[in-house]
């Protein structure tokens, strides 16, 4: 019988069939440069994974891990406290930009990329995060033309990250930047981030609300502010995210059939159009919605509030309902997904209902709901 360590190793090495080619973990952190062969998928009997091995991301080429560690170890203990300039830029863009070429500086390429993100109406936080990470890359590798940035530079950039989340964010920023240079600007023909993979960050198991808790929450919402009940209903019964809730407009609610209203979820950003969907509500929602319109009469946005107002409202209603467990807008969305899974929704149907792309991480996410919907042992 296989040991628990062996079972854990096999489970961690599973990948989605539609994902990238099968990846294997590199050697432990104390591997020597001469040991270039890949570690076997299953360790010798009685030998489990070390702490260092568990902390490594998946790679196709273990030599990249060694290179990343070697260059990362030469960095100072921490980055400087302040960025070189405002908004992650060294110098402000005061005029026109010169055309991009393979010999352009990283600074110029960053400026073009920033303009591309802003014209694509990407969220401000996303733009600032990407630009800051690219500023860090420039600070680490110095003045190099973009066509001379290589995998060693990326290893240095990733190796100096102070945590898994930071490393993952940096890799995402660099990868999307080079895809822009290759696919959109067409000034590069190679991607130096190829071969690097992010750490696998395990998803927490959701804690959904039980049937009696759901009912108590809806009853408490009835006695709260006029918008509380329709907002909680939409998150709990249709699985809307907080962001989707706050972008709803009156014209997104179709009440032609009072027994089966339709709620449309739209996105202004072209990159998120795949998340758009139309969801079937019921007569109960129609009554709740009509009552809300009579009290508030919103002109455009259905719920003219901010994200923190939604969080505060949900927690206030939770306390009024006498619930002890943590309840957030995400808890309501989790509860909706588990209830749909109990009603027979499969993996693909859950992805569609939640507006999620069918990628490996999202599939892993909805499998949590399917597991919670299984009959008790």
Which residues, including other chains, have CB under 8 Å from residue 221's CB and lie 6 or more apart?
228, 229, 232, 233, 317
Please tell me the distance from the alpha carbon of residue 269 to that of residue 276, in angstroms, as a whole number: 11
Residues across the chain: 377
- For the stretch 270-273, contacts whose Cβ atoms lie closer than 8 Å and that sit 24 or more positions apart, written own/partner, are 270/120, 271/120, 271/122
* Global confidence as pTM: 0.60
What are the φ/ψ torsions at residue 270 (nearest 5 degrees)? Answer: -60, -30
Instruction: Locate CATH 1.10.443.10 in the chain.
Output: 211-372
Please tell me the distance from the alpha carbon of residue 366 to that of residue 348, in angstroms, as a whole number: 9
Mean pLDDT by 10 residues, the chain (377 residues): 44 43 41 43 51 68 81 55 40 62 92 89 87 94 91 93 90 94 92 86 88 97 97 98 96 94 91 90 96 91 95 97 96 97 96 92 92 93
Assign a CATH topology to domain 211-372. Answer: hpI Integrase; Chain A (1.10.443)
Q: What is the pLDDT of residue 32?
A: 44
Q: What is the pLDDT of residue 23?
A: 41
Q: What is the pLDDT of residue 11?
A: 45
Q: What is the pLDDT of residue 124?
A: 86
DSSP sequence for 275-322: G-EEEE--HHHHHHHHHHHHHH--SSBSS---HHHHHHHHHHHHHHHT
Ranges of beta strands (E only) in the chain are 24-25, 58-59, 253-254, 262-265, 277-280
Please tell me the distance from the alpha carbon of residue 236 to that of residue 218, in angstroms, as a whole number: 9
Q: What is the pLDDT of residue 197?
A: 84
């Amino acid at each position: 019988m296989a040991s628990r360590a062996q079972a854990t190793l096999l489970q961690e090495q599973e990948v989605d069939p539609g994902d990238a080619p099968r990846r294997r973990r590199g050697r432990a952190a104390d591997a020597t440069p001469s040991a270039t062969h890949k570690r076997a998928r299953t360790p010798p009997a009685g030998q489990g994974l070390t702490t260092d091995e568990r902390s490594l991301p998946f790679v196709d080429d273990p030599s990249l891990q060694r290179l990343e560690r070697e260059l990362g170890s030469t960095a100072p203990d921490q980055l400087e406290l302040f960025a070189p300039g405002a908004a992650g830029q060294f110098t402000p863009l005061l005029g026109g930009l010169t055309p991009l070429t393979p010999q352009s500086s990283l600074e110029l390429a960053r400026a073009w990329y920033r303009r591309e993100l802003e014209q694509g109406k990407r969220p401000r936080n996303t733009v600032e995060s990407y630009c800051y990470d690219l500023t860090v890359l420039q600070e680490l590798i110095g003045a190099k033309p973009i066509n001379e940035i290589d995998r060693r530079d990326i290893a240095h950039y990733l190796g100096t990250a102070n945590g898994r989340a930071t490393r993952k964010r940096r890799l995402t920023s660099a990868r999307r930047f080079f895809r822009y240079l290759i696919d959109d600007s067409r000034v590069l023909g190679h991607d130096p981030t190829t071969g690097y993979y992010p750490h696998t960050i395990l998803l927490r198991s959701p804690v959904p609300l039980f049937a009696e808790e759901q009912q108590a929450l809806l009853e408490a919402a009835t006695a709260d502010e006029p918008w509380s009940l329709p907002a909680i209903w939409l998150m709990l019964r249709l699985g809307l995210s907080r962001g989707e809730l706050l972008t709803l407009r009156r014209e997104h609610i179709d009440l032609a059939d009072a027994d089966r209203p339709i709620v449309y979820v739209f996105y202004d950003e072209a990159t998120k159009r795949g998340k758009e969907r139309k969801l079937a509500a019921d007569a109960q929602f129609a009554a709740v919605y009509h009552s809300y319109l009579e009290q508030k009469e919103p002109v455009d946005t259905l719920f003219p509030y901010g994200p923190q107002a939604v969080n505060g409202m949900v927690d206030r209603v939770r306390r009024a309902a006498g619930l002890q467990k943590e309840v957030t807008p995400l808890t309501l969305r989790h509860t909706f997904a588990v209830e749909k899974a109990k009603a027979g929704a499969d993996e693909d149907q859950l992805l569609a209902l939640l507006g999620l792309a069918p990628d490996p991480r999202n599939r892993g996410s909805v499998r949590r709901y399917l597991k919670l919907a299984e009959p008790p042992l």
